Amino acid sequence: MTVLDHVFVATFTMLGAGVLCILYGVVRGPSVLDRIVCLNAMSVLVVSAMAAEAALRGDSAYIGLMVTVALLGFVGTLTAARFAERRAHDRG
């Protein structure tokens, strides 16, 4: 194994550990907004994993998919935050 292979193994290990920590935050989050932030961080980690996979393979075909997932994560976070804000406002 080359040094670059060790770097990719370390990268995917750290991304996996980050996903596990974020999943814990999604499950145990004290509020809805905390869960929304965790899901946004999850989409960032997914895009990061795709970028690392693209770098590993040396293929640029994933760029469109990465942009799509990043935009969906951003729009989903905004929509969920707006919904949570209206729900909190309605409760009073």
Q: How far apart are CA 73 and CA 60, in angstroms?
A: 21
How far apart, in Å, are the Cα atoms of 25 and each of 10, 35, 49? 23, 7, 19
Residue 10 belongs to domain spanning? 3-91
pLDDT of residue 33: 86
Q: How many domains are contained in the chain?
A: 1
Q: Higher model confidence: residue 87 or residue 61?
A: 61
What's the pLDDT at 92?
66
- Tell me: the pLDDT tens digits for 12-58? 999 999 999 999 999 998 888 899 899 999 999 999 999 999 999 99
Q: What is the pLDDT of residue 89?
A: 76
